[in-house]
Amino acid sequence: MRVALLGFGSVGQGVAKILGEKDLDLTLTAVADSKGGIIDPGGISIPEAFSRKAKSGTCGRPKLSALDIVNSDAYDILVEVTPTHIDDGEPALTHIRKALALHRHVVTSNKGPIALAHRELTDLARRQGVALRYEATVCGAIPIIHTLQHGLLGNEVKALFGVMNGTCNYILTRMEDEGLTYDQALGEAQEMGYAEKDPTYDVKGLDTALKLVILANTVWGMDAGLKDVKVTGIDLITPQAIQLAMDQETAIRLIGEAIPSKDLLRVSPRIIPRNHPLLVEGTLNALTVVTDLAGELTFIGKGAGSVETASAVIGDLLFIRERYAGRP
Amino acid sequence: MKLEMKDTPGQLVSVLGPISKCGGNIIAVIHQRDPESESDTLDVQIVLDLPAGRLPALIGQIKALGVDILRIGEERLLHKRSLIMIGHIMHTDISDTVDQIDRTGFAEVSELSLMMPAINERSSARITIKTANRIDMESAVSILREVAGRKELLVVEPLEEWT
Ligand SMILES: NC(=O)c1ccc[n+]([C@@H]2O[C@H](COP(=O)([O-])OP(=O)(O)OC[C@H]3O[C@@H](n4cnc5c(N)ncnc54)[C@H](OP(=O)(O)O)[C@@H]3O)[C@@H](O)[C@H]2O)c1
């Protein structure tokens, strides 16, 4: 099948790299970043796209935009990996709506449109007879959406909770290990490239809240939004609070939690015992799913990173290829 | 709390009704030989969870059945939960914060550790609350949440085990 890639940053380059290296029976026919795009029905040369990006700042040509690619008939599956904007979900929301309307499958790592318009987009995809998959939006490399939609079929999911933001987990881990203040640990995370220059979205718990909304809407068919989540971030945590937790063989971590029977969607720093399965170090993510048949399941893995996140995107692409390739 | 009585046939079974009528929840039943007793009979000890204020009613009902209670255990508050507060804890009257829990009658603050890095900086405190049962604990924690909210203190709660 033919793939168009919108966004050629960390995730987009990871996807392109894997498509170039592995023989997956998928052809990259279009690619765009914010400054330009390119279409080649015969298949794009991936090394050339990388070298154009390095030399000129765009992987394509300035004349062609992402929207031109969406409206073209050069692709079967759109991979939308442009930046997340939580207020309006754009430009991804427009890209995804258009592609679905044109009967194209969509794979995205972009939390904005999925958190804001899950119901609209999944309904649209169903009506159009195409797939909308978004494994990479939650917990990077951990195949949690696939597990919830397919692996746990027949189970009732009673609750979900976990560590879903690597930036916060890194900051709290460093405060604990080195006795750093919040500001020192944040500065270090920024130097390491784990935190953005403006860290608000991560440290205030909004990123975790978006992921929680996506999970809740996926599992329970809720139509929840950010406004339905009670959110407290980690920016007020003191080294003394961490010490007080450590004195009792516990630690503080930012936990997202969804319990529909209690009508609860909450993101907050919490005290967890040292030997708890959710107590992961550094930028790792961990997620516990509580079900009626399978009991409790905990998944641990990398929540971000170029190739790790691309792994989730590639999984979605191959899922679509297996289900739909060769169909009219 | 603990109830101890002589284990004569039928006694254990007869107290189950009153316990459940009073909203009690049996945690363990322990048979033990009383070292001070001359006789060969065993004592039975019942460890149970009882909502606040129900103890007198329970004792009355058990006595009415003609069962002798040998001892009522000291351990009144079984449930313990530690939370961490962050903010201007001293300036917002810490003793009032503690008192809001203590005055409920069903919960008490059993430990408080306070760390103050410097004057005017936010301090941190670990507060341990004890109650007789889980329902009382939830009420006590929600009181603390409400008081802390009013005083602009951040409360970090433990992640409860899923049951
Ligand atoms: N990085 C991760 O580990 C990770 C993990 C999970 C989910 N995600 C999500 O995945 C998405 C991509 O993340 P990322 O880290 O790859 O971001 P990034 O490195 O900032 O890359 C974003 C890419 O999108 C391009 N872009 C921006 N506006 C565009 C537009 N209007 N049309 C076409 N392309 C546009 C940018 O172009 P330029 O190159 O010209 O700037 C850039 O190539 C985000 O939504 C993010 O939340 C990322």
Q: What is the 3-state secondary structure (H, E, C) of chain B?
A: CEEEEECCCCHHHHHHHHHHHCCCEEEEEEEEECCCCCCCCEEEEEEEECCCCCHHHHHHHHHHCCCCEEEECCCCCCEEEEEEEEECCCCCCHHHHHHHHHCCCCEEEEEEEEECCCCCCCEEEEEEEEECCHHHHHHHHHHHHHHHHHCCCEEEEECCCCC
CA dihedral A55, A140, A274, A261 (to 10 degrees): 150
List the CATH number of the domain containing A172: 3.30.360.10
Q: Hey, what are A107's tokens?
A: 């794979």
Closest CA to B107 of B80, B126, B86: B80
A14 and A105 belong to one structural domain: yes
Picking from B124, B128, B141, B163 by the largest number of A CB atoms within 10 A of its own CB, the best residue to mutate is B124
3-class DSSP assignment, residue A33? coil
Eight-class DSSP state of A137? G
Convert the pLDDT of each residue in A46-75 to its tens digit: 999 999 999 999 999 999 999 999 999 999
A297 and A157 belong to one structural domain: yes
Structure confidence at residue A20 (pLDDT)? 96
Q: Which of A161, A244, A255 sits opposite B124 (nearest CB)?
A: A244
Q: Which position has the token pair 């945590």?
A: A237
Q: Is the CB of A36 under 6 A from ligand 1?
A: no
A290 and A168 belong to one structural domain: yes
Residue B70 has pLDDT above 80, yes or no: no
Contact B84/A236, CB-based, under 8 Å? Answer: no
Q: Which position has the token pair 């107590």?
A: A279
**Distances in Å between the alpha carbon of A4 and those of A79, A175, A191?**
6, 42, 33
* Catalytic position from the list A53, A111, A211, A302: A211
Task: Give mean pLDDT, residues A107-124.
Answer: 97
Number of folded domains in chain A? Answer: 2
Closest CA to B154 of B133, B124, B129: B124
Structure confidence at residue B27 (pLDDT)? 78
Residue A298: other Cβ atoms inside 10 A: 15
Q: Lowest-pLDDT range, A162-171, A176-185, B2-11, B126-135?
A: B2-11
Confidence of residue B41 (pLDDT cuts 50, 70, 90): low
B86 and A CB contact within 8 Å: yes
List the CATH number of the domain containing A35: 3.40.50.720
How many CA atoms, within 13 angstroms, populate the side-chain half-sphere of residue B83? Answer: 21
Structure confidence at residue B42 (pLDDT)? 64
Q: Which of A239, A245, A290 sits opposite B84 (nearest CB)?
A: A245
Q: What ipTM was reported for this prediction?
A: 0.88
Structure confidence at residue B59 (pLDDT)? 83
Structure confidence at residue B68 (pLDDT)? 78
Of ligand 1's listed atoms, the one at least distance from the Cα of A33 is 34
Measure A327 CA to nearest chain B CA, in Å.
45
Structure confidence at residue A6 (pLDDT)? 98
**Distances in Å between the alpha carbon of A36 and those of A13, A30, A54, A90?**
15, 11, 13, 17
Q: What is the DSSP string of A66-82?
A: HHHHHHSSS-SEEEE-P
CA B16 to chain centroid, in Å, comes to 21
Residue B37 has pLDDT above 70, yes or no: no
Picking from A161, A236, A244 by the largest number of B CB atoms within 10 A of its own CB, the best residue to mutate is A244
Q: Which domain holds residue A130?
A: 2-140+307-324
* Threshold 0.90, pTM exceeds: no
Structure confidence at residue A326 (pLDDT)? 76
How many CA atoms, within 13 angstroms, populate the side-chain half-sphere of residue B144? Answer: 31
Which residues of chain A are within 8 Å of residue B156 when distances are taken between CB atoms? 237, 241, 245, 252, 268-271
Q: Which of B86, B87, B159 sits opposite A255 (nearest CB)?
A: B159
The answer to whether A262 is a known catalytic residue is: no
**Percent of chain B, pLDDT > 70?**
85
Residue A293: other Cβ atoms inside 10 A: 8
Eight-class DSSP state of A215? H
Q: Which CATH architecture has domain B79-156?
A: 2-Layer Sandwich (3.30)
**Percent of chain A, pLDDT > 70?**
99
Q: What is the three-state SS of A280-294?
A: CCCCEEEEEEEECCC
Convert the pLDDT of each residue in A188-221 to its tens digit: 999 999 999 999 999 999 999 999 999 999 999 9
Evaluate whether B2-71 and B79-156 have a shared fold. Answer: yes
Confidence of residue B1 (pLDDT cuts 50, 70, 90): low
In chain B, where the domains are located:
2-71, 79-156
**Percent of chain A, pLDDT > 90?**
99
A136 and A151 belong to one structural domain: no
Q: Lowest-pLDDT range, A176-190, B126-140, B144-158?
A: B126-140
Residues B2-71: name the CATH superfamily: ACT domain (3.30.70.260)
Task: Give mean pLDDT, residues B46-60.
Answer: 80
Convert the pLDDT of each residue in A298-322 to its tens digit: 999 999 999 999 999 999 999 999 9
Residue B163 has pLDDT above 60, yes or no: no
